[in-house]
Amino acid sequence: MAARFEQRNAYKGLPLRPWVRLRFRAKDGSTVEMELLADTGNPCAAIVSQKAMTKLKRGKGPPLNTNFGLLQGGWLRLQMPELRLVRPIYGYASDAVVTAAKASHGDFDGLAGLPLLRLLEYGGDASWFWLRQPPGTP
């Protein structure tokens, strides 16, 4: 039986934060890799910058009003075959949210919220945060 792929990332930032590395397929066919702060309290699958959304957005959608202001919505294409995640997700753009994430660590390109994390098995311990295919994934 083949082992499931697992992505492990040591916490980083001040304070130390969990994060994930995700790849998206851009409108022009290129692949864009991003480091997103993992936030299980966030009800949005992903929040990226306005610039990233312009490059990645595959379809329009309604905005969302939040305490960070209005988030612009759009369909994004995840490109993570090793995790069996080659699919559309609905995400948002907010430079204010990205700025807040970057305050913890400059590498963070936004947030990955609970709807995205629930597509996988995720967790962590004192040193690492991980993502992997759920048990029984073909």
* Residue bearing tokens 């905005």: 63
Q: Indicate which CATH number applies to the domain containing 32.
A: 2.40.70.10
Strands 69-80 and 64-66: antiparallel
Q: Give a yes or no: residue 135 inside a domain.
A: no
Q: Give a yes or no: residue 11 inside a domain.
A: no
Peptide bond into 18 cis (omega under 30): no
pLDDT tens track for 103-130: 999 999 999 999 999 999 999 999 999 9
Q: Do 119 and 41 touch, CB atoms closer than 8 A? A: no
pLDDT tens track for 15-24: 999 999 999 9
Q: Give a yes or no: residue 1 inside a domain.
A: no
pTM of the model: 0.93
Q: Give a yes or no: residue 3 inside a domain.
A: no
Q: Give a yes or no: residue 70 inside a domain.
A: yes
Number of domains in the chain: 1
Q: Give a yes or no: residue 84 inside a domain.
A: yes
CA nearest to 9, candidates 112, 115, 118: 112
